[in-house]
Amino acid sequence: MALEAETKRIVSLFELSDDWLNKAVREYHSQADEGLRSEGTSLSQIPTYVTALPNGKEKGVYLAVDLGGTNFRVCSVRLNGDSTFKLTYNKVAVPKELMTAEKAEHLFGFLAKQIEIFMHEHHKDEFESIRSQTNKDEEIFHLGFTFSYPVKQLAINKGTLIRWTKGFDIPDAIGKDVCVLLQTELDKLHLPVRVAALVNDTVGTLLARSYTAGEGGHTLLGAIFGTGTNGAYIEKLSNIKKPIEGEYDDSTGEMIINTEWGSFDNQLNILPSTTWDSEIDKETVNPGYHVFEKRVSGMFLGEIVRRAVLDMTKNDQLSLFKDANSSSNDWHSTTDIGPAVWSAEAVGPGQRRHELEGTLDIYSSSLEDAQAFKAIAGAVGRRAARLAAVPIAAIVLQSGRLSDANSSIIDIGVDGSLAEYYPSFREMIYEALAAVDGIGPEGAKRIRLGIAKDGSGVGAALIALVAARMEKNRSVANAAKRKLDQVPGGFLDSFTNPQQLALGVTVLGALTAVGLWWARRRNFV
């Protein structure tokens, strides 16, 4: 009985009411708005310099690399131009010691080495033929770099690291341009690869989902629920009140914003906090930051459950894992229960007890033990899903698409292990969305959380494609400008922006090239 009562008490600490959800959505709106107005806010709302979405017609082979929370993936993506693609990739776990290396070059040198191995394995012929070219610039591989940590983006291929998350801690890299860090190491290996674009995994997911959805897909948001959590969405340029440095194409009137919602409510105005949440936060590499992520993402859920269950086993009044038949199940054995938490949710009581044995060395646990364990794991997972619904609801409401008759489905691309494998994670998000004022059960039915598998790799390849074209177009424009500069007299002096330059080029008969440049800038292809 005591076990059942204590389990209920702990479960109730993780419950979030519908009223709370509505309050949290309002708080998200206010912090999101603040992030669009000024720098240094809790929600960073980072402009990404990506101002258009693909339509599925893009073609070509591009390289992409993805440094996530656990693995480093190197891929090449063949975009077929019909909303389909072929992805080839290698995946390696990032060695633990490199996650906290003394120098940035140790980590980035390892990444460059993996790119070299991949190119040898999968693109040896192209690689050798590029190496033997005299004009290497023409034939270089363009690479999209998915870097899933908070970065202050300064251009499509430039961004300085704000802080590490997800267990990485290399102070030497903070404030440095991560594209330069990678390019330097690639150059040391003499690889014919140019880091053409820097992209967050959520931005990649949004782009990949748009590519596969094709014309009319109109994906609103790309979200990750994996080791970490974050979302990127399309915002009107007119709503971004803080200055955006550098060049970008404003013709679509929109830009993708990387919210970095892992840092929603770092000030804890609204987020629920149990003692276990606070303890965990203190022990992370970034205490006080990314506190939303520490309640939602896969890196932390198992640890929250572990601490809650551990406290229960230390309580002499409770029978948890202390039955006569399970005398060896003292709290020393309850040390790493992340994977067991997930499977505890997925399986029935018999299988669950089997999992407790296999994963945690807890033998002969009683049915009550297994039920208590399931209840706690379920409560932590359910709280995560309801929290996850908060930014999604806020972004859907803010977009106005629910009242737009042309948007019957509001498409959201999601990726990450929680979204994909945690039992009922997406269903619990839908349930929470239905409880939000302004969405309701009818609105929730129009929101589609679609898995965007391999999103970040494909998305990075798509951005590399755009960046490579922008670069090429810039050289066409520069070549044209050089020709114009050779014309005697001062009549070209005023041709300083692209439209004026195009006019000047007409005079010299080079209109075609710049017309193509301008058209591509506008159409994204």
Tell me which residues in 207-266 interact with ligand BGC (CB under 6 A).
224, 226, 228-230, 260, 262
Selected catalytic residue, list 201, 265, 411, 415: 201
- Interface residues for ligand BGC in 10-69 (CB under 6 A)? 68-69
Question: How many chain residues bind ligand BGC (CB under 6 A)?
Answer: 18
CB of 157 to ligand BGC, least distance (A): 17
**Is 33 designated active site?**
no
Looking at the Cβ atoms of 76 and 230, the one nearer to ligand BGC is 230
Shortest distance, CB of residue 495 to ligand BGC, whole angstroms? 40
The DSSP-derived string for 312-338 is HHH-TT--TT-SGGGTT--GGG----H
Assign residue 167 a region: left if phi > 0, alpha if psi is -120 to 50, beta otherwise?
Answer: left
Is 83 a binder of ligand BGC (CB under 6 A)? no
Angle, CA 52 vertex, CA 47 and CA 57 arms, to 5°: 145
502, amino acid identity: A
User: Is residue 163 annotated as part of the catalytic site, yes or no?
Assistant: yes
Q: How far, CA to CA in Å, does 213 sit from each of 205, 209, 216?
A: 12, 6, 8
Do 210 and 234 touch, CB atoms closer than 8 A?
Answer: no
Rounded CA separation 521/218 (Å) = 19
Among 31, 44, 200, 313, binds ligand BGC (CB under 6 A): 200
Residue 281: active-site member: no
Query: Among residues 66, 73, 76, 163, which one is catalytic?
Result: 163
Residue among 260, 199, 208, 239 nearest 391 (CA): 260
Contacting residue, 73, 142, 158, 166, with ligand BGC by CB under 6 A: 166
Q: What is the helix (H) or strand (E) element at residue 396, kind and residue range?
A: helix 367-399
Q: Toward ligand BGC, which CB reaches closer, 224 or 412?
A: 224
Which of 7, 83, 183, 202 is close enough to bind ligand BGC by CB under 6 A?
202
DSSP symbol at 173: G
Cβ proximity to ligand BGC: between 109 and 298 the closer is 298
Stretch that binds ligand BGC, among 18-26, 122-130, 200-208, 396-404 (CB under 6 A): 200-208
Euclidean distance between CA atoms 186 and 174, whole angstroms: 20
Which CB atom, from 6 or from 260, has the smaller least distance to ligand BGC? Answer: 260
Residues 262-301 close enough to bind ligand BGC by CB under 6 A: 262, 293
- Looking only at residues 62 through 81 of this chain, which bind ligand BGC when binding is defined by CB under 6 A? 68-69
Cβ contacts of 416 within 8 Å, gap of 6 or more: 224, 225, 226, 227, 229, 298
Interface with ligand BGC (CB under 6 A)? 68-69, 148-150, 165-166, 200-202, 224, 226, 228-230, 260, 262, 293
Q: Which residues does the annotation mark as catalytic?
A: 148, 163, 201
